[in-house]
Amino acid sequence: MDQTKIDTLRAQPVPCFSHLIDGQQVAASDGATMEVLSPIDGQALTRIARGTATDMERAITSARAAFEDRRWADQPPAARKKVLMKWADLIEADALNLAVLGVRDNGTEISMALKAEPGSAAATIRYYAEALDKIYGEIAPTAGDILGMIHKEPVGVVGAIIPWNFPMMIGAWKLAPALAMGNSVVLKPSEMASLSLMRMAELALEAGLPPGVLNAVTGEGAVVGETLGLSMDVDVLVFTGSGQTGRRLMEYAARSNLKRVYLELGGKSPNIVFADAPDLTEAAKVTAAGIFRNAGQVCVAGSRLLVEASIHDAFVEEVVKAAQAMRVGDPLRLDTQIGAINSEAQLARNLQCVAKAEAEGGQIVTGGQRLLPETGGSYMAPTIVTGVTPDATLAQEEVFGPVLAVTPFETDAEALRIANATVYGLAGAVWTSGLSRAHRIVRGVRTGVMHVNTYGGADGTVPLGGVGQSGNGADKSLHAIDKYINLKTAWMKL
């Protein structure tokens, strides 16, 4: 990457974004817009359409019409593949523009964003484009004059509600398999970070996706998100975000057409470090990165550090050194390792969580304060709190910020008990040289993803899904396709 190119792009004005409905740019039905503030400096960046229920209903109607006339669903697999591949190519060709736009909107450090956002999105779209013509139906093992066939059909209209932390990456996890299987999609980006995802949707049309197959409406979740959730014409709803919103979406499904709802929600992921870890210095550096990159605004972040008591003090010291060495600042600088908090409201919540942790007996060993107030942006020091008991608020509730809770343990059994002592089950890790111990801990932690002697980095070939109140269903891998198909049995007498 070239810092000069990044600086040139950041200086460019950002146009206002309208809805994308039936292949056209459409203003809100009442003409209303929302101001977009950059977390980098707190300044107005642009405006987006403030969607109304009427706007969302129009987008759903467009998606339903596109599905019913089969303009996309009945295209041969090779034709759908060609469009999706072109879409990935366009994203990749415009990757730096997309990454800078996204960073200006949500504050992720550019060194992470370029790979994690357009890079990941393009790779995900290519993955499902390659897979779509390899998904076959089945022949059942019937006998005599009966032929049993199992068809795999698109579900219809998919509503996709995407969070603000990695909008392009997570958006692609939903959009790519849904579109690959022939569905139509109505996209609702987060009002806190819509820009790069809206531009990505525009590129899908440029790639040849028929009008109406992908519609996108910006605005507040309480308005357009609710309309999407309550619609009788949406067949599947997919969402990544908070548990509170996830519950509301399930209620909407129950109140409407019993649409299937797949949720990837919060986490309080345990990062378990044993004294026999192969390289404790490396473990400390990866531990710090696993919670502090993107300012802790990562669903799978290792926000609970469980350390074997015999190495607790020495290991915490190493993590503190690693955290203090990470540069917090302007996320559009290539040497920045921790970018901005997404909003002032999120920063305030983060600081409140730290204050509560201290009030409950935790000790702040580094961080705990706002940084760089003179910039006008939202920045927070990487924060480590020791003495956190398993039942403390900081050990139980997701912060979604750069805050690490540290708890010691004595035995394998105690480590597992503490690791599982939350309502969440999204990710986790274990650091050990013992093969048997690694297998026992992986098997024993109730979670969707476990890392061994690393944290993060799992690619699109493996699923990401949670257990407990971390959600249901899976993003990534071929398993994600199951959310976007219906199975139909054909029972034939020959």
Query: Catalytic residue positions?
Result: 264
Q: Which two tokens stand for residue 415?
A: 């480590």
**Taking the alpha carbons of 154, 486, 188, 119 in that order, is the dihedral positive or negative?**
negative
Tell how many helices (H) and how many strands (E) occur in the chain: 16, 21
- Cβ neighbours of residue 472 closer than 8 Å, sequence gap 6 or more: 262, 263, 465, 466
**Taking the alpha carbons of 202, 114, 289, 345 in that order, is the dihedral positive or negative?**
negative
**Nearest in space to 6 (alpha carbons), one of 433, 478, 336:** 336
- Residue 83 CA to residue 449 CA, distance in Å, equals 32
List the beta strands (DSSP E) in 116-259. 138-139, 146-154, 157-161, 184-188, 214-216, 236-240
Measure the N-to-C terminal CA separation of the chain; round to a whole number of Å: 63
**Are the CB atoms for 398 and 268 separated by under 8 Å?**
yes
Neighbours of 73 (CB within 10 A): 18
- Cβ neighbours of residue 314 closer than 8 Å, sequence gap 6 or more: 280
**Counting beta carbons within 10 angstroms of the beta carbon of residue 102, is it exposed (0 to 12), middle (13 to 18) or buried (19 or more)?**
buried
Q: Which two tokens stand for residue 151?
A: 């068809």
List the beta strands (DSSP E) in 254-362. 260-264, 270-273, 304-308
Which residue pairs, CB below 8 angstroms and at least 24 apart, start in 224-227? 224/51, 224/52, 224/53, 224/55, 224/56, 224/188, 225/161, 225/188, 225/249, 226/53, 226/252, 227/53, 227/56, 227/57, 227/60
- Residue 425 CA to residue 420 CA, distance in Å, equals 8
**Amino acid code (one letter) for 243:** G
- Residue 250 CA to residue 265 CA, distance in Å, equals 13
Which residues, in sequence order, are bridge partners of residue 380?
Answer: 370
Cα-based distances in Å from 220 to 32, 48, 188, 227, 252? 12, 11, 9, 11, 16
- Residue 16 CA to residue 350 CA, distance in Å, equals 30
Cα-based distances in Å from 276 to 280, 283, 361? 8, 11, 29
Q: Which residue has the tokens 């105690």?
A: 414
